[in-house]
């Protein structure tokens, strides 16, 4: 590990007010952004993420996001323990969740619990702080109108990053056209500001040993719940039972199918900003299809 295990054990003991010493440290793979470790004590396990010191803000926002979802009481998330900088590295420590396999109703349970989380709401769209989606900044300044929020803080923000990355004028032109016609996708649909996971692809969802759903690695804000559902469809991996249970718990507006592409455009642009390559033509293709619908 890149930092002192003894110091980390001491930090955990202080944060939890319980004695903790590390018996073993195991590297955990699978993350996109950070290095991760399982810290095993005598009878407690913690999950540690490390990044360079400038990553502290990102970790502090992730910890608050987990806290916000935990406070909803709707769905299990790893309990955030503490974050800070040690030995020149930013760290985030949370409860380690042991993964298990599905029980009969795991997918339906996820659908119901996500709908319950979405029922937590605020008066305005956004969050009390900015955070990140992957490692891309995600601005969350509270906004009264959802369409304004989605246009300025989601779509056009990512387009601006993409242009700076060299995406070119065609993308910007299409984005401006889309931004000017955004209202047409909404009609008289007025979403409420729901607590969203914000980055809900199947890699950020698991089951614990009782088969209960666990969500992690969030990019929390209060927004249209359709945005979370759209993302589950972008990369797949969620079962028809999940969607059926979600819709039973809280039916979706008929216009969801039309807005889905609009909401996923944000994540495709973000993937271009993170990884480059073919995501640019994918984003342009989605924009063209959306513009053709107007
Ligand atoms: P990154 O921020 O680098 O993308 P993730 O938060 O996605 O990292 O974590 C990487 C992997 O570690 C996940 O795919 C998941 O399998 C596992 N993981 C994340 N959080 C926990 C946790 N609290 N307990 C156990 N495993 C976890």
Strands 45-52 and 121-122: unpaired
Where helices occur in 17-123 by DSSP H, the ranges are 56-72, 106-118
| pLDDT of amino acid 209 | 97
Kindly report the CATH number assigned to the domain that includes residue 110.
3.90.1200.10
Query: What separation in Å is there between the alpha carbon of 85 and the centre of ligand 1?
Result: 19
* Residue 101 in domain: no
| pLDDT of amino acid 34 | 84
Ramachandran bin of 168, using left for φ above 0, alpha for ψ from -120 to 50, beta for the remaining angles: left
Residues with CB under 6 A from ligand 1: 28, 30-34, 36, 47, 78, 94-97, 203, 216-217
Atom of ligand 1 nearest to the CA of 217: 6
Task: Provide block-wise average pLDDT over 10 residues at a time, the chain (294 residues).
Answer: 89 96 91 87 95 96 98 98 96 97 94 98 98 96 98 98 94 97 96 98 96 97 98 96 98 97 98 96 97 93
Kindly report the CATH number assigned to the domain that includes residue 22.
3.30.200.20
Helix 56-72 vs helix 106-118: crossing angle, to nearest 10: 100
Residue minimizing CA distance to atom 23 of ligand 1: 96
- Is residue 232 located within the same domain as residue 204? yes
Query: What separation in Å is there between the alpha carbon of 216 and the centre of ligand 1?
Result: 7
Rounded CA-CA distance 264/198 in Å is 11
- Is residue 116 located within the same domain as residue 245? yes
* Residue 281 in domain: yes
Residue minimizing CA distance to atom 15 of ligand 1: 30
| Count of structural domains, the chain | 2
Coil, strand or helix at 124: coil
pTM over 0.85, yes/no: yes
| pLDDT of amino acid 168 | 86
- Is residue 111 located within the same domain as residue 256? yes
Pocket probe mutation, ligand 1, options 12, 25, 31, 202, max atoms within 8 Å of Cβ: 31
Query: What separation in Å is there between the alpha carbon of 59 and the centre of ligand 1?
Result: 13
- Which of 42, 70, 95 is the last residue before a domain boundary? 95
Active-site amino acid positions: 199
* Residue 100 in domain: no
Pocket probe mutation, ligand 1, options 29, 30, 38, 80, max atoms within 8 Å of Cβ: 30
| pLDDT of amino acid 275 | 95
Pocket probe mutation, ligand 1, options 36, 46, 83, max atoms within 8 Å of Cβ: 36
Domain interval for residue 209: 106-292
Query: What separation in Å is there between the alpha carbon of 10 and the centre of ligand 1?
Result: 22
- Which of 37, 61, 95 is the last residue before a domain boundary? 95
* Residue 185 in domain: yes
Sequence-ordered list of residues with C-beta below 8 angstroms from that of 191, at least 6 positions apart, any chain: 146, 223, 224, 225, 226
């Amino acid at each position: 590990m890149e930092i002192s295990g003894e110091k980390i054990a001491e930090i955990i003991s202080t944060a939890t007010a319980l004695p903790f010493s590390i018996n073993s440290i195991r590297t955990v793979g699978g993350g996109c952004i950070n290095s991760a470790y399982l810290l095993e004590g005598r009878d407690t396990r913690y999950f540690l993420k490390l990044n360079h010191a400038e990553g502290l803000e990102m970790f502090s926002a992730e910890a608050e996001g987990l806290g916000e979802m935990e406070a909803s009481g709707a769905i299990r998330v790893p309990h955030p323990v503490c974050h800070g900088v040690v030995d020149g590295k930013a760290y985030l420590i949370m409860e380690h969740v042991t993964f298990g396999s599905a029980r009969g109703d795991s997918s339906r349970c996820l659908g119901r619990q996500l709908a319950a989380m979405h029922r937590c709401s605020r008066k305005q769209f956004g969050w009390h702080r900015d955070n990140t989606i992957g490692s891309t900044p995600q601005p969350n300044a509270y906004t009264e109108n959802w369409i304004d929020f989605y246009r300025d803080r989601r779509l056009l923000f990512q387009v601006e990053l993409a242009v700076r990355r060299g995406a070119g004028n065609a993308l910007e032109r299409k984005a401006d056209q889309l931004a000017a016609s955004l209202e047409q996708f909404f009609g008289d649909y007025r979403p409420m500001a729901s607590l969203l996971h914000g980055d809900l692809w199947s890699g950020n969802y698991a089951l614990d040993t009782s088969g209960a759903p666990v969500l992690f690695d969030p990019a929390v804000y209060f927004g249209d719940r359709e945005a979370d559902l759209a993302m589950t469809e972008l990369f797949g991996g969620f079962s028809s039972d999940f969607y059926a249970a979600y819709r039973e718990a809280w039916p979706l507006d008929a216009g969801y199918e039309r807005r889905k592409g609009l909401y996923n455009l944000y994540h495709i642009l973000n993937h271009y900003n993170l990884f480059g390559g073919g995501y640019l033509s994918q984003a342009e293709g989605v924009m063209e299809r959306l513009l053709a619908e107007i």
